[in-house]
């Protein structure tokens, strides 16, 4: 399973379908131009982007938007990521959330084989890349994750299995109480309303998003209930006004979250 990196513009990027047999997948290609290294599967369709001079930097807006999970879970013990790609979120979390254990689920061994070219850390006590189909693996994670990042697309959008009611239900069960799911969707995906409805049902209505935070990408946050928690309180605040009411303020908030993490190595005390 691959993590697509999308520019905040109408142009689309693609990534292979999680459920497509490996033999039918386009081979991952690495393109290096100056200080930039990209992961592509077809020319011009960028899956991940890295600055060689600062490999831990988050280049794309949607990556910064997804990092707003620290507003709900400032110091997660266990982060699970669906898709490795060029490892932008994995590297950032590994460096700037030192208290977190990180598990990355990646289906394609050819993508895992490129980890050195994208400065992705070796497996250790805190960081592990697992070659697995997330749809099959998710049930084994019951009540073990504080944060779950779901971001996997093919040329036609989100594969049906990653937007299904059963997958969202497994994601909800994979979280501890107060845990947060972060799902990347496209506003122009014709299945977006149905997927949003399934996600809302799986999380008993406890979902929210920041208006205008990542262009055509819709970053949806779902919080697992069970008992009152800071994450649920934050979910209610964000849902009430779409974050900071104005799209520009939400966009700036995502930048501020990333900068604060880089300065402090953690996100303790971050509030809207």
Residues marked as catalytic: 151
Name the DSSP class of 120. Answer: P
User: How many other CB atoms sit within 10 Å of the CB of residue 88?
Assistant: 28
Give the side-chain half-sphere CA count within 13 A for 85: 34
Distance CA 119, CA 54 (A): 10
Distance CA 91, CA 141 (A): 22
Token digits for 214? 């990542």
Which of helix, strand or coil describes residue 26? coil
Give the side-chain half-sphere CA count within 13 A for 186: 23
Distance CA 62, CA 69 (A): 12
């Amino acid at each position: 399973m691959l993590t697509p990196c999308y520019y905040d513009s109408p142009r689309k990027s693609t990534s292979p379908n999680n459920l497509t047999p490996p033999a039918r997948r386009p081979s991952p290609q690495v393109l290096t131009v100056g200080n930039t290294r990209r992961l592509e599967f077809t020319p011009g369709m960028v899956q991940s982007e890295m600055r060689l001079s600062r490999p831990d930097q988050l280049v794309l807006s949607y990556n910064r938007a997804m990092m707003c999970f620290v507003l709900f879970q400032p110091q997660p013990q266990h982060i699970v990521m669906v898709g490795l790609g060029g490892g932008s979120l994995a590297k950032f979390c590994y460096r700037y959330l030192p208290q977190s254990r990180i598990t990355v689920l990646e289906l394609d061994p050819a993508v895992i084989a490129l980890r050195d070219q994208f400065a992705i850390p070796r497996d250790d006590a805190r960081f592990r890349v697992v070659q697995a189909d997330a749809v099959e693996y998710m049930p084994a994670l019951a009540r073990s994750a504080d944060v779950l990042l779901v971001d996997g697309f093919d040329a036609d959008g989100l594969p049906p299995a990653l937007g299904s009611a059963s997958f969202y239900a497994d994601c909800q069960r994979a979280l501890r109480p107060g845990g947060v799911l972060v799902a990347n969707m496209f506003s122009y995906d014709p299945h977006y309303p149905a997927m949003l409805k399934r996600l809302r049902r799986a999380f008993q209505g406890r979902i929210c998003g920041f208006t205008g935070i990542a262009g055509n990408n819709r970053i949806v946050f779902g919080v697992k209930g069970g008992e009152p928690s800071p994450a649920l309180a934050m979910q209610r605040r964000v849902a009430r006004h779409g974050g900071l009411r104005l799209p520009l303020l939400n966009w700036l908030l995502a930048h501020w979250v990333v900068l604060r993490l880089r300065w402090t190595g953690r996100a303790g005390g971050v509030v809207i």
